[in-house]
Amino acid sequence: MKGSARTTVEKLMMEYFEAYNGGDYEKVASIYYAEDAVLEFPADRIVGRKNILEYLVGVNSGGTKEILRPTNILIDGDNVAVQINSEFKFSEDAPDFFLRPAKKGDSFLAKIGVFYKIRDDKIVHITIYEFRSTT
């Protein structure tokens, strides 16, 4: 892989994480996700930019805020593998939160492994392999 191609993908991913953490999910979806993007979890699959946006807004609503902190990034062409410390903070009770119930003021860390596929400077596929709460 040429150094400049790797730099472009790495820059795209770092800008993506910064934008995600900024909380403007409409901007994140419009800039970084392809129209036909797919988000896969072990037990679920979300297809399309609009549906992924709805998911992101849902996860980060009701007093819940997710912060993504990549710890390791491996890039091979248009494929990106990332270890992420995903911190969830709660400003309201979230008894039905998908990882575990949370109370106002709670914060916990989930370690996730994520694979991204990039096409034309857009994320076309995200596969999340593990959610493991550590705190």
Write the DSSP symbol of residue 100. S
pLDDT tens across 72-110, in order? 999 999 999 999 999 999 999 999 887 889 999 999 998
pLDDT at 6: 62
The sign of the dihedral angle between the CA atoms of 9, 57, 129, 33 is negative
Mean pLDDT of the chain: 91
Write the DSSP symbol of residue 101. -
pLDDT band at 2 (very low <50, low <70, confident <90, very high): very low
What is the per-residue DSSP string for 26-73?
A: HHHHHHHEEEEEEEEETTEEEESHHHHHHHHHHHT-TTEEEEEEEEEE
| Backbone dihedral angles phi then psi of residue 63, each to the nearest 5 degrees | 85, 10
Q: What H or E segment, with its residue span, contains residue 133?
A: strand 132-133
- Residue that the structure tokens 């076309």 belong to: 124
Give me 86's structure tokens. Answer: 């995903």
- Report pTM: 0.88
| Contact assessment for residue 52 and residue 39, using Cβ atoms and an 8 Å cutoff | yes
Percent over 70 (pLDDT), the chain: 92
Classified by CATH at the fold level, domain 3-133 comes out as Nuclear Transport Factor 2; Chain: A, (3.10.450)
Is the pLDDT score of 60 beyond 70? yes
